[in-house]
Amino acid sequence: MAKAFNDKEWKNAFIQNKLPDSLLGFQRGVHAAFGKDIVAITATEERFDQFNGINYGGNLYVNLEGNIGFINIAGHELYEQIVKERPELHSWFTEQARKHYHGLAEYQVELANADGINN
């Protein structure tokens, strides 16, 4: 992580952990479909436990102790990688997804109100 953040203090901030057996199929699927490795990590000290995931060096690093689901974070990091590396795939997916949007404007209003953005 020291290289990712360009900060020597982050050297050894995380350790790689064994992924739980229940997530191995997901890990293999992501690798087979997208050629990306998912690396399970945990912070070595509480002060480093500041994020749930990061996309770095072609790998998707996901904090096992994050406060959001592991698959959600890995999916988010994979999505960011697709946007960068495969903009044509992202455009196609966006076009396909929009065909199925129903009530998006209402949903966005509800989401904004729930988050206190408009309050």
**In a shared domain, residues 15 and 66:** yes
Q: Where are the alpha helices (DSSP H) in 1-119?
A: 2-5, 24-34, 70-85, 87-98, 104-114
17 and 64 in contact (C-beta within 8 Å)?
Answer: yes
**In a shared domain, residues 63 and 115:** no
pLDDT of residue 51: 83
User: Which domain, by its residues, includes 116?
Assistant: 87-119
**In a shared domain, residues 79 and 92:** no
pTM of the shown model: 0.71
pLDDT of residue 75: 92
Token digits of residue 50: 């500041």
28 and 1 in contact (C-beta within 8 Å)?
Answer: no
| Count of structural domains within the chain | 2
**In a shared domain, residues 58 and 102:** no
pLDDT digits (tens, 9 = 90+) for 14-63: 889 999 999 999 999 999 998 999 999 998 988 888 888 988 888 899 99
pLDDT digits (tens, 9 = 90+) for 54-103: 888 888 999 998 888 899 999 999 999 899 989 999 999 999 988 888 88
**Closest residue by Cα to residue 90 from 81, 77, 101, 100:** 81
**In a shared domain, residues 80 and 99:** no
